[in-house]
Structures are given as structure tokens and as C-alpha cells.
DNA sequence: GCGTGCATACTCGGATATAAGCTGTCCGAGTAGAGGGGG
DNA sequence: CCCCCTCTACTCGGACAGCTTATATCCGAGTATGCACGC
């Protein structure tokens, strides 16, 4: 199991945006973090599709958060980048092969699927317990504006 | 994020092995579940490398569990198939680019990495709370032996 | 009748092709702002 | 002095290759069993 590397980039970008006083272009965000500009742009598009950020076009445009940082959880960002499909997908093996169960015994979900789903719920609940505001608390807005202003 | 499809196969196989009275060949396990024989064999090798099952060679050989089913957790199987590396790997973005932090401020792990690691711990803890014995409770050993005996 | 040796068929194990998804890149469409000209 | 038009430069957005990883497969090495033979 591997999480897309873009998740880390997107989280750092959201933290920066939460403390920025004006929209920040995607190329600028890439420079701030030392990552690929074009590839980061792709992930920012995903954040925009999920409704977490809004793109301002034209000169002096860029990305900005659509909500208060305290209203955006880490889970929101992870799902925007990595998709909201569960990591484990039950293929109903219990109904296949020689050991197949009759359909009347398959009204309730497979026990294996239940365990995996419950674990993912724990994972999501944990991620939803931290917001962008929490992560951005240690970032000095003055320092950010100074770095952004020079650009 | 996507979990290897082999995890589901491996879990079902472990449940069968926990209720079987003799070693079961990999080809037989594949027929029981209606999946690819050769590919399942690959995953069973992974279980053997992890020490969860033991392969008996030669005629009437096959796979058997090495421990009591109650001593094998779902997490053990997941890590055997999918690897024990964390899904999120911090690349220390905070130390790269124009917004890089000085090394003396990076003694403690990055806040983002901490959140992701804690979520994975919750996920693993949940998976470790169920054993193969729990999953196999609903499988009738008599029926299994009947299906295996016909082979 | 019993022990031994052998042939056999069955098992696993690793090395090998194929497909999918993530990673990374490029160029075109659209827009907000700045500057110049006219009223 | 104010308003309007144009022009430019900058932004995003989707379409296009490269590469690592997961998926699926094949064939060879090794071994426990069953049988035949000799004692």
C-alpha cells in the first residue's frame, strides 16, 4: 500500500495558503517547496476539483483556500488527491470457486471486508481529527509574506 | 491509495488453512476460491517468507499455518503481502525550497508526518484486533473437509 | 514376510512477460491588470 | 481630469510521454510416497 506522493505536497501547499494574505500561483508554490512546477499544478487542479481551493486567473492570480483553515481536515486533502475509494475492495471471493457460499448466506458483508472497512474508518477518523489550521500554527506569517514578497 | 488484491486472497487462504486438517496445495486453494493458481502461489510464497505458513514439499504436500489461528492477526497477513513500509513517507519538504527551515528546527518530526503516522497506527491497531481464528469461526470444518476430500 | 532401492508424480520456488497507474512534462485557452489615447 | 479601449503578460486547464510497480505466467529444482525387487 502506498499513498501518492502528491498528498505531502498538497498538504504543505494548503498550510502555506492558510497563512498567505493573497493568492499564490502554482509555480510559486513549487518554488517554495522545491518540487516540480508542472506536476504540482496537476495536484492543485485536483484540490480545485474537490472544492478545497479556488483558482484566480489572469495576472496576480493564483490559488487560495475556499474555507477557513479550521474547516479543512487532513482527510479532505488526502481524499482530494488520492481519491475517496477504499483501499480494500471486496471481490466477493466467498461466492466464487468450489467453496462458494449460497447467496442467502451473503446478505451481510464478508467478515474480512468488515475488518478492513473498520480499520479504514479508524484511519479516516484519525486524519479528520487534524485541520490545516492545526498544521499551520507553527508557520510564521511574517516570514511567509517576506519570502513571497521578494519573488 | 490501493491495497494489493492479493491481501484478500491471502486472508481467505489463511482462514481455510486454519480449519483444514491437512496441508493444502496452492493449486487447490486457488480452485477453492476461483482465482489464478500461479499468482496465488506467489502470494503464498510471501506468507511463507513472513513465517506465517510452512510449505510441505513432495507428494501430499501443501501449505499449513505455523501458529495457532488465534495467534495470527489480520495485520500480520496484510504486512506479509503488502509490505510493512508506511503508506506515507515524509520527504522532508520543509527543508527544501525557498521556505526551507534551518536544521535546528527539524529535530522533531514534521507535523504532517506525525499526523499521517498516527493515522496509520490507528489503522494497524484496528487490523491487529482481529485474528484468523475470529474470521474462521463461521466456516464449517466438516464442509471444508468434504470439499477438499473430493479433490 | 521384511527391508531396501528406485521410479514417479507431485509439490514448491524463483526468473520472466504484460498491463496499469503514478510521475513528470508540454502547449493552448482565457483573463485580470496596466498603459495609452480620446473626450 | 476621467473614462474607455487595447495590448500584454500572466494565470490556469487539459492533453501527452516515461517509468516504477502490481499483475499474471511459465518452467525448473527438490522431495515424500508407493511399488517392485532381493534377501
Pair B14, A80: CB distance under 8 Å: no
Give the one of A33, A82, A112 whose C-beta lies nearest to B135's C-beta.
Answer: A112
Round to whole Å and give the CA distance between A67 and A18: 9
Round to whole Å and give the CA distance between B129 and A77: 28
Write down the architecture of domain B5-147 according to CATH: Orthogonal Bundle (1.10)
CA distance B113 to chain A (A): 9
The whole-model pTM stands at 0.94
Name the nearest CA neighbour of B16 among A99, A106, A90.
A99
From first to last of its 151 residues, chain B has per-residue pLDDT tens of 899 999 999 999 999 999 999 999 999 999 999 999 999 999 999 999 999 999 999 989 999 999 999 999 999 999 999 999 999 999 999 999 999 999 999 999 999 999 999 999 999 999 999 999 999 999 999 999 999 985 5
Give the one of B88, B124, B130 whose C-beta lies nearest to A7's C-beta.
Answer: B88
Contact between chains at B9 and A93 (C-beta distance less than 8 A): yes
Whether residue B151 lies within 8 A of chain A, CB to CB, comes out as: no
Tell me which of B4, B6, B8 to substitute to probe the interface with A (most A C-beta atoms closer than 10 Å): B8
Q: Could you report the per-residue pLDDT of A19-55, keeping only the tens digit for each?
A: 999 999 999 999 999 999 999 999 999 999 999 999 9
Cα B47 → chain centroid? 7
Amino acid at each position: 500500500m502506498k499513498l501518492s506522493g502528491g498528498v505531502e505536497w498538497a498538504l504543505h501547499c494548503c498550510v502555506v495558503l492558510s497563512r498567505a494574505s493573497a493568492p499564490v500561483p502554482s509555480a510559486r508554490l513549487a518554488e517554495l517547496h522545491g518540487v516540480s512546477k508542472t506536476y504540482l499544478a496537476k495536484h492543485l487542479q485536483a484540490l480545485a476539483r474537490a472544492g478545497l481551493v479556488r483558482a484566480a486567473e489572469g495576472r496576480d492570480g493564483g490559488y487560495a483556500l475556499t474555507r477557513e483553515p479550521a474547516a479543512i481536515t487532513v482527510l479532505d486533502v488526502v481524499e482530494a488527491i488520492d481519491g475517496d475509494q477504499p483501499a480494500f475492495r471486496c471481490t466477493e471471493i466467498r461466492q466464487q470457486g468450489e467453496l462458494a457460499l449460497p447467496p442467502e448466506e451473503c446478505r451481510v458483508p464478508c467478515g474480512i471486508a468488515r475488518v478492513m472497512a473498520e480499520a479504514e474508518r479508524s484511519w479516516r477518523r484519525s486524519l479528520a481529527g487534524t485541520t490545516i489550521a492545526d498544521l499551520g500554527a507553527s508557520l510564521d506569517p511574517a516570514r511567509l509574506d517576506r519570502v513571497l514578497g521578494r519573488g
